[in-house]
Structure formats: C-alpha cells, structure tokens
Amino acid sequence: MMPGETHSAAPGTAADLSRCQGCASLQQNLNEYVEALITLKQKIINTDNLLTEYQKKCDELQFARRENSTLHHQVEQMLQKISPLQKCQEELGSLKAELEEKKSSLKLYQDTHQEYARVKEECLKTDAQKKKLEAKVKKLEEAAVKQTQDFKQLRNEKKILEKEFKKTQEQLDEFSKQKNEKELRHIGTQISSDSYGSIDKRKVKLLLKELWLCINTTHRLPGEGSRCITERPAKENPGPTESRDDGVPPPAGGRPLQGAAVQTCLAELSMEIEGDFSACGHVGRREDGGAAPCSDHVADEGLRPERETPGTDEDSADVSDRDHCFDEDLQAAVDFFRRPPPLLSPVPSPPLVSLPPLSTLPSALAPHLAECLLHSILSELKIQKISMERNYIHALCRVYVGICRQLGDLERARLFCYSLLKEDFPESEKLTLFIANMWHDIFISQSVINKAMQLVARQRAKGEVRNCLRAFLNWEKNAPVDVGFMVSKLLLTIQLCPKTEFQSSEKFGEDLSDNTWEYIFAIDLLCCHQKWIWTHDNIISKELWPVMDKWIKYRKGHANIAYTPDIIIASILRLIGRLGQLGLKEGFPSAVKNISSVIGMFIQHARDEDIPWGIQLAAVYALCDLSPSNPAEISKILEAWRQETAHSVPSAVLSCLEEVSSLCAEEVG
C-alpha cells in the first residue's frame, strides 16, 4: 500500500490490523531514514570540514612553496656572492704560504750568510794560528835539539857522579874501620870550593844532595790553578797563595833529572844510604861555607820558602850545631825511605805501620826534606797521570799521605784527595781507599766538601773496592747517591743562608766567606764528576742564570720579584767562573765563550747600573776564569773596567788582569 492511499472500512478489523502493522514498519523505516539522513548530514559536514582543512593545507603548501622558491632564489644569490669571496680566501692562503716560504728562505739565507762569515773568519784565524804554530814548531824543534844536547850533558854528568860516588863509598869503608862513633849526614850541608880535590864529609853530603835533587819539581798537580781550595787554608796553614810553577834549585854542575828518573833515584838513595852510612864513622869537621837547604815553594798550598843564612869561618860552634842537626835530618830521611807503605786491607783497621808523631822528627825535617819530597810527588803524579804505571801512582799517593800524616797536615792531605777526585785520576776510587787506609781522619769531618768527596768516590767505586770503602768510611749499604739532588741542595743552602756576608780582604777585596767557598768547591767537584754537558744543561741554565735574571729584574723595578742578596749573586758568579773551566777542559770553548760574553756585558754596564762593588769583583774574577775562551775581547773589557772604576782595585785582581793580558799576548804573538 502506497502512502496516501485511503483504506476502505469494509474489510473490517483485519484490514485495520494490517494497516497498523504497516504504519509501524513505515514509522520504523522513516526513523531509519531520518537516522541515515542525520548520519549522511554529519558525514557531509565532516567532509566539508575536511575539504576546508584540505583547502587550508593546499593554501599553506602553496605559500610554503612560494617562500621556498624565494629562499632558494636568495640562497642562489648568496652563493653567487660567496663564490668570489672563497676564491679570494684561497688566493690569500696561497699568498700567506708563499710569504712564509719566502720568510723561511730569507732566514735560511741570513743564517747561511752569517755561517759563511763566521767560517771565513775562522779560516782567517786558522791561517794565522797555523802560521803561529809553524813558528812554534820550529822553536820546539830547536828546543828539542837543545834538550837532546842537555840530556847528553846530564847523562855524562850522571856518569861522573856515579864514579865519584863509588870512590866516596870506598873512602867511607875505610873511615868506618877507623872510627867507632856513628854519625849521619844531612843532604843540605854545603861544601867548600876546593872539596873536589879530596874526599871528605862535605863532598859526601854534596853528593847526597845531588841525588836528592834528581827529583824534578818543575810541574804541579793538574787542576791546581790560581784560585784553588787552598785559597782558603785552615788556620794551621795561613798565608796567601800565588799562581806560578814551582821549582827546586838545580844542583851544582847540573840540572834535575826528569820524572822518569825519580823512582830510580829514590831507590838508589835509600839503598846506598842504608847500606853504606849505617856503619859510617865520625869524620873531622872542616866547615868552610854555610848551608843552603832546599827551599821549594808550594804555590797552591799556601807555604812560603824558608832559607837559612850562610855561615862564616868565624862561627865554628854554630857550624858544628848545624852539622849535627843535618845529620839527624839525614837519619830521619833514611828511616822514611826504609819504611814501606801500609798494605791494603779489606777490613776497617788502622794502618799496619804506625807512623811516628811529629814531635819525634827533627825540627828541620818538615820544612826541608818533607816539602821537597811532597813537591816532587806532585810533579811526578802529573807526569804519570797519562801513563799505565798504576802501581807507581798508588805508591806515590801512599807516600804523600804518609808524609802529611807525619807532619800533621790534615788539610793538605784532604786537598790532595780532593784534587785526585776532581781531576779524575785513573782509579781515583782506589786511591781514595789507599788514602782512607793511610789516614782515616781525613774523612771524619762533616763538612760539605768531605760529603762531596765521599759521594763521588761512592759513584765511581765498584765491586770489592766499594765494599772496602763502605767498611772504612761506614757507608750505609743502600744510601742514596744522587749527585744532582746534592748539587741542588747545596745551591739552595747558599741562597737561604741568612748570615752570609762579604769578607773584607786586603788582597782579594770583598770576598766570599769560608763557608760559602766550601759549598762552591763541593759543587765544583760534583759537577766535574757529572761532566760539562750535564752541568751546563741542569745547573748553569736551570739553576744559576734564573737567579741572575731575577736579581736584574728586581733592580729594574719589576713587580712580584723577590729580593736576592748581593752576596748570593757574587757566589753564583764565582761558581759560574769555576764551572766554565770545566767546559774549557772538556773542549767546549764556544759554549764557554757565550757565557763569558754575557758576563762581559754585565761588567761593561756595571758603572752605569751602579752595580755593588762586591758583585763587580766577583764578575771580574769569573771573567778571568773564563778568559781562555776569548782572551782578546775579555782583556779589552777588563782593562776598560779597571780604568773606569772609582774604587781601589785589589792586588789579586791586578794579578788576574796581568795573566789575562799575557794570555792575550800569547794568542796574538
């Protein structure tokens, strides 16, 4: 039934019922249509919303595309502008590289030119030195010829002396049978001018003197320079020092033999005296002249020569007394040569041979016999240092220390040990062991020099020698042996010492104190053991120059710079001078020359900068120590300083200036 149709009333109830059911279904369908319509409407609304959003998105996309296009266009424009700048930057980098290359080339060229100028100057100097050396070679050849002739003459004189000695022995044998009274002769007794005609007591003593003076003392122990440890001698050995070669007066009719004959002369003298004079009788006294004993001089040990005034014929009683004293001295010399050196023992015990005390020796023995022999040993050690006769060197060292012990001269023995270690003698650690065995008191002192000597000996000793030294000197088994640490500690002690002051001296001017010198000598010994390169790199460059730099900056008014006392600067300058000698010894003159040039500039500006007088003197002493590196320039600087200074220049400084001038003259001549 379609909507709008009307039902007839005829069908009745059944028709009404069917109509009601149709209406219900229609109503239901209508509701469903309405719901579907509402749903469709909602979907249409949602679709419209989606379309609206889509349209917005499209609009935004279009806008973004336009902006993107604009930005892309701007980027292209920027890239077009940047590309020329990049090219310019690349060109600038290439120009910088070329400029650096040209700078390096220019610097290399300048260095090459300077090197060429230096080499040219050295070549000129070498040519000049070559000419000088050729002249010196000629002189040496002439001197060699002359020495050969002298040697022949000495050999002839030796033969004559041997013949005379044999004759004298025969005469002495005859005298010994006739005389019962025994008397010993002194080697310093004089003879009369006519004593060669007959064999008597005076001639015998002259012959002994000739044999004694066979020992050559014209050389010194290497390393004992113008300012060694003995510039500060102990109180028992006072006296100024001088820097010159020592010598013994030559005997009558000949000159002293060379060092090679020393051992033979000593052996012959000991054997002949012991064999022949032990039974010698008394000879009648016929004294016509005086006595002139050996008066050698030790420059580096502060001892002065002593001479006896000659006697006359009227002083017969004095001559008799002197003759008796000489005989006692001769007996003491015989006893000395008869006594063997102590044997080396691996355990700490006193020497096997006990030496007599000084009070038992004759009064004239120490200044005459002992001094002469000590000088001879030092000269012989210098000769034997480069030889392979190690046993001979050991024996000489034992004898030297034994004589010092007899004389009671502890400081001289300690100086001797110091010199052996500083000059790096062959087997110096073994020599130290011999010295400790001979006289243990040398190493009892607690001074810094003694500690430095023991540290160097501990560094060098090995094996059994080290064990013996440890036993003798009571070393700890695992004691530290760092030389660098000890040097730094000593330098720090010098800088922190609060009571250090200048010591006024008429000879040296404002000088360092004894304690400061001990520290300087100890550092010098340790640095000599470590050699020059270590000393220059670790001590001079890193320890000493920085202190000098701080002191100069403080004087110029720099902020945050601590004050350094003047005495510390003077100590550092003196230490630099001594350490520079190590560089000269090991063959580094250019490095030492650089140091001397810095100190030379310091001296040149001393008056303008108002440098304290004590520091000026220390710088002058240091420059004198370094003078072999550049004698001509240093001589000019020192002479100009001497003329400009308003102070009174001490005599020691004047002596140093004369030495530098003579060194400069030798280089020029």
Q: 232 in a domain, yes or no? A: no
CA separation for the pair 514, 519 (Å, rounded) = 9
pLDDT at 301: 36
CA angle 113, 664, 231 (to 5 degrees): 120
Can you state the angle between helices 631-644 and 613-625, rounded to 10 degrees? Answer: 160
Task: Decide if 292 is inside a domain.
Answer: no
At residue 240, the 3 state secondary structure works out as coil
With b meaning 16 or more CB within 10 Å and e meaning fewer, what string describes 14-44?
eeeeeeeeeeeeeeeeeeeeeeeeeeeeeee
Q: How far apart are the first and last CA of the chain?
A: 158
* pLDDT tens, residue by residue, 112-140: 888 888 888 888 888 888 888 888 888 88
The whole-angstrom separation of Cα 550 and Cα 542 is 13
**DSSP-assigned letter for residue 442:** G
Residues 3, 21: Cα–Cα separation, whole Å: 14
Q: What is residue 581's predicted lDDT score, i.e. its pLDDT?
A: 93
- Between CA 82 and CA 75 the distance in angstroms is 10
Q: What span, in angstroms and rounded, lies between the C-alpha atoms of 46 and 38?
A: 12
Specify the residue for token string 């239901």: 28
Residue 591's domain comprises: 501-669
The number of distinct structural domains making up the chain is 1
Phi then psi dihedrals of residue 480, to 5 deg = -65, 145
How large is the C-alpha radius of gyration of the chain? 51
pTM of the model: 0.50
In a 3-state reduction of DSSP, which class is residue 503? strand
Report which residue type is found at 392.
Answer: Y
Residue 268 located in a structural domain: no
Q: Considering the domain boundaries, does residue 605 fall inside one?
A: yes
Report the amino acid identity of residue 213.
L
Q: Is position 575 within any domain? A: yes
Within-domain flag for 520: yes
CA atoms of 453 and 471, how far apart (whole Å) = 16
What pLDDT does residue 304 have? 32
Q: Is 11 strand, coil or helix?
A: coil
Q: Is 281 helix (H, G, I), strand (E, B) or coil?
A: strand
Torsion-angle region of 509 (φ positive above 0: left; ψ -120 to 50: alpha; else: beta):
left
Local structure of 356: helix, strand or coil? coil
Q: Give the Cα separation of 165 and 273 in Å (integer).
A: 12
> Would residue 113 count as lying in a domain?
no
Query: What single letter denotes the amino acid at residue 250?
Result: P
Please report the pLDDT score of residue 306 as a whole number.
34
Count of C-beta atoms within a 10 Å radius of residue 52: 10
Longest dimension (CA), the chain: 212
Nearest to 401 by CA among 418, 425, 388, 385: 418
The 10 Å CB-count burial string (b at 16+, else e) for 408-437 is ebbbbbbbbbbbbbbbbbbbbbbbbbbbbb
DSSP single-letter state for residue 283: -
Looking at residue 278, its pLDDT comes to: 41
CA gap 108, 101 in Å, rounded: 10
Residue 22: phi and psi, rounded to 5, are: -65, -40
Q: What pLDDT, on a 0 to 100 scale, did the predictor assign at position 34?
A: 92
- Phi, psi dihedral angles at 315 (to 5 degrees): -100, 60
pLDDT score at 206: 53
The residue written with tokens 């109830």 in the block is: 13
The Cα–Cα gap between 321 and 314 comes to 14
Query: In order along the chain (669 residues), what is the average pLDDT of each group of 10 residues?
Result: 50 69 87 91 92 91 91 89 87 89 87 86 87 87 85 83 80 69 40 39 51 40 36 36 35 37 44 41 36 34 33 41 46 44 37 40 54 85 75 86 89 91 86 87 88 90 86 74 86 78 88 91 93 93 92 87 89 94 92 93 89 93 92 91 90 92 82
pLDDT for 235 equals 36
Give burial (CB, 10 Å; 0-12/13-18/19+) of 375. Answer: buried
- The owner of tokens 């070559």 is 130
Rounded to whole angstroms, how far apart are CA atoms 638 and 377? 37
Classify residue 550: in a domain, yes or no: yes
SS3 504: strand
pLDDT of residue 336: 45
**265 token code pair:** 């002369």
**The pLDDT value given to residue 538:** 92
Yes or no: say if 250 and 256 are a contact pair by the CB < 8 Å rule. yes
